[in-house]
Amino acid sequence: MFSSITPAQAKALRAGGYLALVVAFLSAVNWILVIREYYVMQHQWPAASATVYSMREDSREVTPPSSRQHSYQVYWVEFMVVLDLPQGQCPGSMVPLTTQEPQCTAEVKTPEVKSRADAIVWFSRHPRNSRLVVHYDTQSGRTVFGGESIFDIYPWDKIAITAVAFVLAALMLIAGRSQTARPEYPQGVPKIKEE
């Protein structure tokens, strides 16, 4: 398969493979930290039942650090929810919305996505007056949806980029190492004629 690769090309492939491996590991750090954060939120933060009171779509422009890349929009949905919590445990604010008594309210934001259509799906997933579970941090006041599918909250585009980088690194390393594993004289050492 790699019979036409010279030793110099094999060395370059190995170097490129190691570089791709480093890029793959570095790209994995970001999404591993995101997944860890979601795990901590879902398993260590307290949970409360809530009712969706209102929702709104929002977006912002992201300008990449590289001047070669174009700016792009990211979209998300913010839900105002009424939590079934007493005032002493409320991570948000106490506001009278549906009753005369103040109710515990909080904002829950969906993950940011590059597709507006993917953001709008959250409207149908959690319509107005629907019941849901919210995890909250009592110190920071942050709130997140509970019980959501990993397919909806994990950064699958970043995971795919890392997987492609690992596959590319593996192929380059295999190609580079196959040249070094082949003997210099495939038919054996040539015999010297004695005269």
Residue 133, judged by CB atoms within 10 A of its CB (0-12, 13-18, 19+), counts as middle
Domain region containing 5: 1-45+148-182
Residue 163 lies in a domain: yes
- Report pLDDT digits (tens) over 139-155: 888 888 888 888 878 88
Sheet holding 47-62, edge to edge: 93-95, 103-109, 72-83, 47-62, 131-136, 143-145
Same domain for 69 and 120, yes or no, is yes
The predicted model scores a pTM of: 0.68
Considering the domain architecture, whether residues 56 and 32 belong to the same structural domain is answered as no
Q: What is the DSSP letter of 4?
A: T
> Does residue 12 register a pLDDT over 80?
yes
Whether 192 is covered by a domain: the verdict is no
CA distance 194 to 8: 34
- The answer to whether residues 27 and 80 belong to one domain is no
Q: Are residues 106 and 50 in the same domain?
A: yes
Residues 52 and 120 in one domain: yes
H-helix segments, the chain: 7-44, 116-125, 150-153, 156-181
Mean pLDDT of 154-159: 86
pLDDT-based confidence at 19, cuts 50/70/90?
Answer: very high
- Are 120 and 153 part of one and the same domain? no
